[in-house]
């Protein structure tokens, strides 16, 4: 059956926070030990049902471009949602989330829906959930911690994002 909507969702955040693994977990329910096996693939899709509509989520990966600060406006073009990922074990990746929000404000559509994800929740933390939740609230982002490794909360975070986008467009 044809889908009713296609939503472009971009995954952003510092290098090695787990962007590729989160995407793989959501679209294929997989975690790759060789984490860069998807390099070169620009996006993956998964179709989900939201409010009796079929939504194809087209989830884009930076494919390592963020290492060279070369995430271009083309990457953000047409994106309705963003998953902004930091690594709860590395405080700097959380501190950089503010920069990624600035990137979005500069390059993405004003109405883009953003889900802040504190990944690697299976490991000892260096950032409290309260602090991240406060930052998310101040910036108007949704927030969830998750683990691409265990799968905890990954589906929930993506589905919540898709539901919020759907609420905006329908």
Which residues form the interface with ligand GDP (CB under 6 A)?
A: 15-21, 35, 119-120, 122-123, 147-149
Q: Half-sphere exposure of 159 toward its Cβ, with a 13 Å CA cutoff?
A: 10
Nearest approach, Cβ of residue 68 and ligand GDP (Å): 13
Nearest approach, Cβ of residue 140 and ligand GDP (Å): 23
Nearest approach, Cβ of residue 25 and ligand GDP (Å): 8
Residue nearest to ligand GDP (CB): 18
Among 15, 20, 32, smallest CA distance to 60 is for 20
Nearer CB in complex with ligand GDP: 7/61: 61
Nearest approach, Cβ of residue 114 and ligand GDP (Å): 17
Nearer CB in complex with ligand GDP: 15/168: 15
Nearer CB in complex with ligand GDP: 21/144: 21
CA–chain centroid gap for 137, Å, is: 17
**Helices within 61-96 (DSSP H only):** 73-76, 91-95
Nearer CB in complex with ligand GDP: 81/118: 118
Instruction: List CB contacts of 55: < 8 A, sequence separation 6 or more.
Output: 3, 4, 5, 6, 7, 47, 48, 49, 162, 166
User: What's the CA gap between 113 and 122, in Å, rounded?
Assistant: 26
């Amino acid at each position: 059956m044809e889908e009713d909507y296609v939503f472009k969702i971009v995954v952003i955040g510092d290098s090695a926070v787990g962007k590729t693994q989160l995407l793989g977990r959501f679209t294929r329910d997989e975690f790759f030990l060789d984490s860069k096996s998807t390099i070169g693939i620009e996006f993956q899709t998964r179709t989900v049902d939201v409010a009796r509509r079929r939504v194809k989520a087209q989830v884009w990966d930076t494919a390592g471009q963020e290492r060279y600060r070369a995430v271009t406006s083309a990457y953000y073009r047409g994106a309705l949602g963003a998953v902004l990922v930091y690594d709860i074990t590395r405080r700097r990746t959380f501190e950089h989330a503010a920069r990624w929000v600035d990137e979005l404000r500069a390059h993405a559509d004003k109405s883009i829906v953003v889900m802040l994800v504190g990944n690697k929740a299976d490991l000892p933390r260096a950032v409290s959930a309260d602090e991240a939740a406060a930052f998310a609230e101040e910036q108007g982002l949704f927030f969830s911690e998750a683990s691409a490794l265990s799968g905890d909360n990954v589906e929930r975070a993506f589905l919540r994002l898709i539901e919020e986008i759907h609420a905006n467009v329908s």
